[in-house]
Structure 1
Amino acid sequence: MTACFHCGEVVPPDTQFSLQILGETRHLCCMGCFAVAETIVSAGLESYYLERDTISPTAALPEALERLKGYDHPDTQRQFIHREQELACAEISLEGVTCAACAWLIEKRLQQEPAVKQASVNLSSHRLRLLWNDTHTPLSELLNDLEKLGYKARPFRHDTHAALLKKESRQLLMRLGVAGLGSMQSMMYAGSLYVATDMTVEYRDFFRWVSLLVTLPVFFYSGYPLYRAAWFALKARSLTMDVSVSLAIILSFIASIYATIVGAPHVYYDSVTMFIFFLLTGRFLETQARRQASETANDLIPITPRLSHRLLNSGDYEDVPISEIRVHDRLLVKAGETIPCDGVIVAGHSAVSEALLTGEPLPLSKSIGDSVVSGSQNHDSPLQIDVTQTASASTLATIHQLMARALAEKPLLAQKADRFAHWFIVVILLLSGLVYGLWSLVDRDYALLATIAVLVATCPCALSLATPVALTAATHRLARLGFLATRGHVLDSLSATTHIVFDKTGTLTEGKLELINTVIVAGDTSQALNIAYSLEQYSEHPVAHAFKQLKMAQSLPLDNLENTAGAGIAGDYKGLRYRIGHAHFSLGNASSDAPEEGVLRVYLSANYQLLAYFDFSDKIRSEAETTIQQLHRLGLSTILLSGDHSRAPQQLAQQLAMTEVHGSLSPQDKAAYVQKLQANGAVVTMIGDGINDAPVLNQAHLSIAMSSGADLAQLSADAILLGDRLTAVVAAYRSAQRTQTIIKQNLVWAFVYNLAVLPPAALGWIPPWLAAIGMSLSSLLVVLNALRLKRN
């Protein structure tokens, strides 16, 4: 079997992509690899293939390729871009991001492009979520804009992103090591200058020149990332924290060289080296802590296999890249392997772990006809599955995209903190100039020291870290608990909630309706069942799922179908207008018998004449009562809103001891009720399931959908309960309140620290090296406080 020269994957037998590389014909597995390889060759970068350490889809490409068009090819983009309506959405890994001002600069620059609708940077994970019109502007142009700002960008993948962060960490550690050695040597020479009272000018100058030599590698090598980031920020006419600290370091170094040459009384080599050392130490510890805060996403989202076993007509199988799998392909999943795509089992029986969606650690028994989802683990025996969703559109990919969207969207508190940090730097630079001017009138020797101390001590690094690290840690922890936030405001809205509104069927109940009674009033039983079965094929309501389980029913050709949310479905067959739904929808003003307590009844009619009715029963979720009790203990009001026209909603609410209950409501009635609560000052969270819940989900401050619900409900929702675990709502509420508390603690600490340290720094009581320690410890304290959210 031939391996792709570019990525190392197996080349399918019927693939004809080849290219002259390094003087030989090389075979390539797909159009994507061909496009990238052709770009490398045409750019004169063939030496890349000689210099690379590994052959894999994640091998680092030449830096020049980042500015080229290999990422614009459709086959390449299919691996990392998904569509949101008419727009393209991609996650981008960023290299060189150091502070909130960097994130602000990237977002502002990209948002200047007319094609870009959204650009959000997650400071904790160094990832950019980009939503843009790719028919107007290609991705390569946007990536090129980022490189002009000094930030390397490439499409996000879990493995390559982790390698990128590891590379950044290793480089930072090397620079930190040089700064540590240099600061120790510099302090040794500075100590001699401080202690000796009768040192001759010759020895003093000798120690100064030696200190300069020791400081040179620290200044140029260890401090280079700071100056580089500051330079690009100034080129973009923006101010970041790197600008203020770089200014302090450069001024100290130049002043020290000047003092060494002319014999002035003070040099600051020790301050320069120690400042760089402590600054890098704090940044390294912050980087490690941020990685710890965000790495739980890799634990939550399993990595799908690169290759899948596609079955052939002959009964054998071929190993193909997961990106080439299409709907209705048949795959073989061996025991112990991860299921790569959503599908239906067509052969085999095995135990499958779906802990990702259900939270149930024990494997579930799966056989022919059962659905399986990507990311699940096949335990016992081989399975053959018919693919229903490709890898890019699978359940696993959807969860990943929703979580990425939640982390990319910044809540109001984070946006205010970012804006404040940006302008705070401007104020600090102005104050530093004022401090230097005032000290120059009093004692010129202390003017530079006091100015540098102000620049360093008041750097708003802790302020910029106060919110994003806490949000990242909390969002990932909630996902592990089964509460998947899909919007950035979820934690804000949930912590302020006063009322929680529930739907009934599929939310407080299991939604697995069972047909317990069929009464034919007129006509033939078989005909009635076929009509009902045919109408319900076009609905996602739990009643429809119950009808779809009828094995003996046959589908009939219906015309003029009309689905009325919360009421029923109508359609024409052989000149008659059939309706199935609640009594008023199906029978108009005609009277009907009331069902028994706890029974859901739907009516089938022809031209409003009753043909049959069907009774269904449903079970209350086992955790519903516990969840309602815990919410009441937390001081929240619980309300049941249902479209059920029977006494079942009242009976259920009474059994669960809920605060209020209202039945026989249309979707518009539910939305109007929530709007009325909001008008009275309530902050409403709505938990629902099904298409008819979409209007009220949109109306509520915060909407939560069950993971088993309809796709439209999930798209309308701000959060999803994975595995339909209601108890996750209680855990999420407590976690949201705790997150808000910690964010406020961080913001208060960062603000108070910067205000408190400003006067002594301006008065010259704090040397620059001590200011660097204080700034680094302040930032580290904020990060460690945020990491408490990872604990139970």
Structure 2
Amino acid sequence: MDSLEVPEHLCYHCLLDIPKHSNFSVLIDGISRAMCCPGCSAVAQTIIDSGLHNYYRHRTDNSASQSLDLQSLVPEELALYNSDKVQGSFVNSSADGLKEATLVIEGITCAACIWLLEHHLQKQPGVQSFSVNMSNHRAQISWQPGEIQLSEILTKIYQIGYRGHPYRPDIEEQLLAREQKRAMLRLGVAGVGMMQVLALAIALYAGDFQGIATGTEQWLRWSSFIICTPIILYAALPFFSAAYRDLKTRHLSMDVPVSIAIGGAFVASAWATISQSGEIYFDSVSMFTFFLLFGRYLEMQARHRTGRAGNALQNLLPQAAIKLMQDDQGDSIEQLISAAELEVGDRILVKPGQLIPADATIDSGFSSIDESALTGEYMPQQRSVGEAVVGGTLNVENPIQLTVTHVGSQTQLSAIVRLLERAASEKPKMAKLADKVANYFVACVLLAAIVVSISWYFIDPGKAFWITLSVLVVTCPCALSLATPTALTTATGNLRQRGLLITRGHVLENLAQCTDIVFDKTGTLTQGNLCIEKTIAADPQSALQIAAALEANSEHPIAQAFRFYLQRSADNIAVTLGEGIEGFVQGKLYRIGKPDFSAQLLGKELVYSMPEQDGHWLLLCDESQIIGWFLIGDSLRPDSKFCVDTLKQLGINVHMLTGDSSCSAPLIAAELGIERVCAGASPEKKSQYIQTLQHQGAKVLMIGDGINDLPVLAGTQTSIAMGSASDLAKTHADAVLTSGELAVIAQAVLLAKKTNKVIRQNIGWAFGYNMTALPLAAFGLIPPYAAAIGMSLSSLLVVTNALRLGKNIIDKQRRNP
């Protein structure tokens, strides 16, 4: 028996909640134990197969939790990640023999943590690259398996105080929920405590000016001490834990000076309360803790939003699949299995309306495949025997039998995920510089405080501690840290009211320097919905009604263009895949579809002439004559032309980059005056196109809406998703055009230039204030409370200057370009 009782609703291996409809299990000590996912199932099975039964028999609450002792963990669990069976679900092997994986790193608090992790891991023999994305705490790693094992890499991460584990969407969802719950609780404790301590502090400050009884003053001091204690011991615990971890690894992050300032002020205030001498700063301690936690909570929310988007991308694949098997008599039977159990070579059945569970080729049948979830294009593609289909796409019309060709990390969907993760992990120069500066800045702050403390210890020991606190408060770069985000927040609020939602702080800075803007076509420059642009017929209304009757029961997007004209019914409908539809309307046989297909109904060779206007034309005819022609297209957005013309007037190069390979792409580009066009582009080709521009020195803005745009949106210096885009595209873009008005983009460029000017003013003031106040505090001319007031006034000036961006700058710029 094991010493840990595991409830039935928890995974027997990782002790996290088991998702609904999960049916994974492993036989352990003769008992079937429930697992939450294929990863845990594979790890548990490997543990049993390796003869490590004692792992489950003797584990305790602590050993089963995420705080396992490193020495006991390495041989029994981390070593299991070296198994090919375990690695199959998250490790990809490249052509040059390297292995690649995505890890989630727990314990990261600031840019200095990123710097430490990357430098420590990149020095290990066999590790080719290791890059951490600050926004979602995921690491992209590639290594040479002949020189280092994955378990050794995970051990190196543990040794410097962090925890790494393979990225699995289902497990990460539960971890994100737990992290958010803990953060909310800490923030609530700090917030409630801060309000109470501030109320008591107001009474103490009033007593300093008007007088206060000694007993009342001591009661207020002790009350503040008691209320502030849980703030320190619980709410501020992450700061102290991170600082302790950093000091053990001889590494400095912002948690070190923050912990010194908060802890030092609390200890000094506690001593002043107990000894009934000196000043107390419980109000400052509670405020510092609350606002620091609030800032990190906002950062965590943004990180969770990005993480959940990546999880949703993985969840495009269905949970179940219909596997075709043979019974004892050799007859084919259908068996519903988990999609995670599919292997290369399995034969599966996909019915109309079902998602394809893995990359495969068609063995039997033909159908239209809706690939819009991956390509962003609205037209389903016809697929027949021998052709390949992609996992995550939708079978539209007919049942098809497939043979699986790729599963797990080898599917095309996984390749898109890797492109996305790789693009997100590539850091601009400013981000790399910030990682380096973070380390040295903290060291300079601590060095200055130490020098001041030692100097005043010899000058006047009684003042040394309080003057050192003043220095720590003054060097806290509040105004400097507010200089950029406050201006960006005000400007983004202005743009949000006009329909452009900015989700990344670097957008406005990059927009001001933008030299090239790249548009996707479908859903960006166009409306993204098929419509009937033109009808040529003797009786247009009757022709539209007949066509609508024929298309009424079709799920093809073209059929949706006729839905407004449906007034009649059709019988004996027959669909010819990729060609068109025929049927009887009021007893008369009609055909609609490609011209060659429809003309065959006439029963004789007919020489017909296509309409002069280029485009996608459908022909409707009966058995004796042509009834009408329909031009099907995707209409332009009303302000597309205005937007392109305005951007060109600003000296910006405009490009069109689309996956559509039809003749409509060059036609739309010509209509809008776009000279740079790349049509029929795959996600990889789109990324290469953008990278080429950026390597040539261009500052690129990408605007798109499809999931196929995700890698290029993430890899572009700045990206905007349309309001009608998929949730995934919106989440991975730097901004979302919620109004759908492309003219707002040109307006945003104008506001961005003004924002950069305000940011430079704010940084200049904040830096000047710190350089002036630091020596004054070091000479004892600024007490701690004055340092706090000065810091607040400096921050207020920065905020006031930034608020000017909330005025109607855009309208003024439009009137006076």
Give TM class, smaller chain.
0.5 to 0.7
Tell me what 2:95 maps to: 85
**Structure-2 residue corresponding to 1:166:** 177
Q: Cα deviation per residue 1:439-485 (whole Å; 9 max; x = unaligned)?
A: 8869658514422422434497669989999xxxxxxxxxxx9xxxx
The 2-side partners of 1:742 and 1:300 are apart by 37
Q: Which amino acid aligns with 1:420?
A: V
Question: Per-residue CA shift, 1:36-62, capped at 9, x if unaligned?
Answer: 456895564447799999xxxxx9897
In structure 1, distance between residues paired with 2:655 and 2:196: 69
1:276 to 2:275 alignment = no
Aligned partner of 2:578 in structure 1 is: none
Tell me which residue corresponds to 1:287: 300
The answer to whether 1:138 aligns with 2:149 is: yes
Given that 1:335 and 1:379 are in contact with CA atoms closer than 8 Å, whether structure 2 keeps it comes out as yes
1:35 matches 2:63: no
Q: Deviations over 1:350-377 (max 9, x none)?
A: 664322233245x727553354322223
Which residue, out of 332, 339, 347, partners 2:349? 332
Cα distance change on mapping 1:196 and 1:655 into 2, 3 Å: closer
1:368 aligns with 2:384: yes
1:246 positional shift: 0.7
Q: What is the number of equivalent residue pairs in this alignment?
A: 615
Code of the aligned partner of 2:151: S
Contact 1:449/1:768 (CA < 8 Å) preserved in 2? no
2:279 corresponds, among 241, 266, 271, to 266
Report the counterpart of residue 473 of structure 2 in structure 1.
Answer: 453
- Residue 428 of structure 2 corresponds to which residue in structure 1? 411
Which residue of the partner structure matches residue 124 of structure 1?
A: 135
Contact 1:115/1:134 (CA < 8 Å) preserved in 2?
A: yes
Give CA-to-partner distance per residue, 1:69-128, whole Å, 9 cap, x none: 232221111111112333211111122222111211211221121222221111111211
One-letter code of the match for 1:184? M
With the length of structure 1 as denominator, give the TM-score of the two structures: 0.61
SS in 1 for 2:89: coil
Match of 1:562 in 2: none
Cα distance change, pair 122–698 in 1 and its aligned pair in 2 (3 A): closer
Aligned match for 1:755, one of 767, 773, 792: 767
Matches of 2:396 and 2:54, distance apart in 1: 48
Following superposition of structure 1 onto structure 2, how do residues 424-439 of structure 1 map, counting pairs within 5 Å? 424-433=441-450
Cα deviation code 1:389-430 (max 9, x no counterpart): 324222211111101000011012221232233322233333
Please state whether the residue corresponding to 2:343 is helix, strand or coil: coil
Asked if 1:228 is matched to 2:248, the reply is no
CA contact (8 A) 1:252 1:272 kept: yes
CA drift at 1:215: 2.3
SS at match of 2:476: helix
Please tell me whether the aligned partners of residues 105 and 163 of structure 2 are also in contact (alpha carbons under 8 angstroms): yes
Measured in 2, the distance between the counterparts of 1:779 and 1:637 equals 35
Contact 1:241–1:459 (8 Å) recurs in 2 = no
Q: Which residue is equivalent to 1:616?
A: none
Aligned residues of 2:369 and 2:383 also touching (Cα < 8 A): no
Q: TM-score, normalised by structure 2?
A: 0.59
Measured against aligned partners, the alpha-carbon deviations of 1:609-654 in whole angstroms (never above 9, x if no partner) come to: xxxxxxxxxxx9999xx999976764456899xxxxxxx9xx9999
CA distance in 1 between counterparts of 2:426 and 2:434 reads 14
Whichever residue aligns with residue 141 of structure 2, its letter is L
Pair 1:113 & 2:127 matched: no
CA distance in 2, matches of 1:327, 1:302: 20
Equivalence map 1:695-774=2 (5 Å): 701-702=694-695, 748=760, 751-752=763-764, 754-755=766-767, 758=770, 759=772, 762=777, 763-764=782-783
Is 1:356 matched up with 2:369?
A: no
Q: Secondary structure at the match of 1:114?
A: coil
Q: State the partner residue of 1:20.
A: 29
Contact 1:95–1:152 (8 Å) recurs in 2:
yes
Post-superposition offset of 1:249: 0.9
On the 8 A contact 2:105/2:162 being kept in 1, the answer is yes
Deviation readout 1:138-190 (Å, 9 max, x if unpaired) = 22222222223332221112232232222212111111222223323333443
Distance 1:95 1:171 in 2: 14
Q: What percent identity do the matched residue pairs reach?
A: 28
Closer, same or farther in 2 for the Cα pair 1:453/1:37, shift >3 Å?
farther
Q: Return closer, same or farther for 1:386/1:104 CA change in 2, 3 Å cut-off.
A: same
Equivalences for 1:142-221 in 2 at 5 Å? 142-196=153-207, 198-221=211-234
CA contact (8 A) 1:463 1:747 kept: yes
Tell me: CA distance 1:421–1:20, structure 2 relative to 1, closer, same or farther (3 Å).
same
Change (3 A) 1:63 1:638: same
Structure 1 residues 96 and 769 mapped into 2: Cα distance closer, same or farther (>3 Å)? farther
Residue 130 of structure 2 aligns to a residue whose secondary structure is strand
Contact 2:643 2:746 in 1 (8 A): no
What pairs with 1:537-552 in structure 2 (closer than 5 Å)? none
Q: Counterparts of 1:595-606 in structure 2 under 5 Å? A: none
**What CA distance in whole angstroms lies between the structure 2 residues aligned with 1:265 and 1:70?**
58
Tell me the SS of whatever aligns to 1:388. Answer: strand
Q: Is the 8 A contact 1:93 1:127 kept in 2?
A: yes
Question: What CA distance in whole angstroms lies between the structure 1 residues aligned with 2:794 and 2:754?
Answer: 19
* Counterpart amino acid of residue 171 in structure 2: T
> Contact 2:512–2:753 (CA<8 Å) still a contact in 1?
no
Residues 300 and 124 (structure 1), Cα distance of their counterparts in 2 relative to 1, 3 Å cut: same
Structure 1 residues 430 and 459 mapped into 2: Cα distance closer, same or farther (>3 Å)? farther
Q: 1:401 aligns with which of 418, 433, 441?
A: 418
Relative distance call for 1:189 and 1:359 in structure 2 (3 A) is same
Give secondary structure in 2 for the equivalent of 1:316.
strand
2:85 corresponds to: 75
| Residues 1:344 and 2:361 aligned together | yes
Q: Distance in 1 between matches of 2:432 and 2:182?
A: 31
2: CA distance, partners of 1:396 / 1:186 = 53
1:82 is paired with a residue whose SS is strand
Code of the aligned partner of 1:167 = R
- Map of 2:394 onto structure 1: 377
* SS of aligned partner of 2:263: helix
Which whole-Å CA distance do the structure 2 matches of 1:243 and 1:94 have between them? 20
Amino acid at match of 1:412: K
2:426 and 2:744 mapped to 1: Cα distance? Answer: 18
Contact 1:308-1:322 at 8 Å conserved across structures:
yes
CA–CA distance in structure 2, aligned partners of residues 467 and 41 of structure 1: 58
1:5 to 1:121, Cα distance in 2 relative to 1, 3 A: closer
Distance 1:214 1:753, change over 3 A: farther
Contact 1:349 1:381 in 2 (8 A): yes
Question: What amino acid does structure 1 have at the position aligned with 2:29?
Answer: Q
How many Å apart are 1:222 and its aligned residue? Answer: 1.3
User: For residue 217 of structure 1, what is the amino acid of its counterpart?
Assistant: P
Q: Residues 493-548 of structure 1: CA distance to partner in whole angstroms, max 9, x if unpaired?
A: 99665699xxxxxxxxxxxxxxxxxxxxxxxxxxxxxxxxxxxxxxxxxxxxxxxx
Amino acid at match of 1:251: G
Distance 1:123 1:780, change over 3 A: farther
Confirm or deny: 8 A CA contact 1:230 1:243 kept in the other structure: yes
Q: CA shift at 1:252, angstroms?
A: 0.7
1:697, 1:247 → 2: CA distance? 46
CA distance in 1, matches of 2:784, 2:364: 77
